[in-house]
A and B are shown apart, each in its own frame.
Chain A
Amino acid sequence: GAVVSQHPSWVICKSGTSVKIECRSLDFQATTMFWYRQFPKQSLMLMATSNEGSKATYEQGVEKDKFLINHASLTLSTLTVTSAHPEDSSFYICSAAAGQGSEKLFFGSGTQLSVL
């Protein structure tokens, strides 16, 4: 199957700092990527849809100024958690459709963010 790479796998940061998470499609081009947040033993909550070359579409209740998404190329989307606070600590995971028009989503390995 298609491979989606996500880095870093875990990060610890101080409150008030910003953290950037990268999501790459390694063997296919992804015009659309998705960013999710997952709390322990809970479901995947869609945060935003990342579109190559245009602004991301955020889900209701997600602060776009806090969670900055950039999708500058067909293989890379980034999520920056700005001015992180302890309540932002979570597992963040991205996914990408395996080819334009494909419904099959493949996930990155996730990033565990801990804000002290």
Chain B
Amino acid sequence: GENVEQHPSTLSVQEGDSAVIKCTYSDSASNYFPWYKQELGKRPQLIIDIRSNVGEKKDQRIAVTLNKTAKHFSLHITETQPEDSAVYFCAAGGGGGNKLTFGTGTQLKVEL
């Protein structure tokens, strides 16, 4: 089955700096890679996703890049703000239905 690794587990940045979270996956059949943001005690929220036929996607301050050959994808948050503080999960799926395998999560803390 699919195995997704995520790094770092914790990330602290100063407000206004950029944050980068990286994930690798194992199943070459996976073709859908979403990122979720989960605030404490709340549900995960889809913030951006990318499919394997695209190398990069951007939505305002958030961007995701995908290297299908190397089987890794990254989340980039620019001009970070305190409200970006949360746990971020990457996921991979689509190889067999819409089942997703999640990474272990990254606790992002944006400091003033």
Q: Which chain A residues have a beta carbon within 8 Å of chain B's beta carbons?
A: 1, 32, 34, 41-44, 46, 49, 93, 97, 101-110
Contact between B99 and A34 (Cβ–Cβ < 8 Å)?
Answer: yes
Distance, CA A109 to CA B103, complexed state (A)? 20
Whole-angstrom distance between the Cβ of A113 and the nearest chain B Cβ: 14
Contacts of A104 in B (CB 8 A): 34, 46, 49
Q: Binary interface profile of B, 22-60, with partner A (CB < 8 Å = 1, else 0)?
A: 000000000010101000011111100100000000000
Contact between A105 and B34 (Cβ–Cβ < 8 Å)?
Answer: yes
Contacts of B32 in A (CB 8 A): 103
Contact between B98 and A97 (Cβ–Cβ < 8 Å)?
Answer: yes
Contact between A43 and B104 (Cβ–Cβ < 8 Å)?
Answer: yes
Residues of chain B at interface, number, CB under 8 A: 24
Binds A, one of B13-21, B67-75, B89-97: B89-97
Contacts of B101 in A (CB 8 A): 46
Contacts of B80 in A (CB 8 A): none
* Residue in B45, B98, B107 with the greatest tally of chain A CB atoms within 10 Å: B98
Q: Contacts A49-B99, A109-B43 given; indicate if A103 touches B104 (C-beta within 8 A).
A: no
Contact between A110 and B98 (Cβ–Cβ < 8 Å)?
Answer: no
Distance, CA A49 to CA B41, complexed state (A)? 23
Contact between A103 and B102 (Cβ–Cβ < 8 Å)?
Answer: no
Distance, CA A43 to CA B44, complexed state (A)? 11
Contacts of B102 in A (CB 8 A): 43-44, 46
Distance, CA A109 to CA B40, complexed state (A)? 11
Contact between B104 and A106 (Cβ–Cβ < 8 Å)?
Answer: no
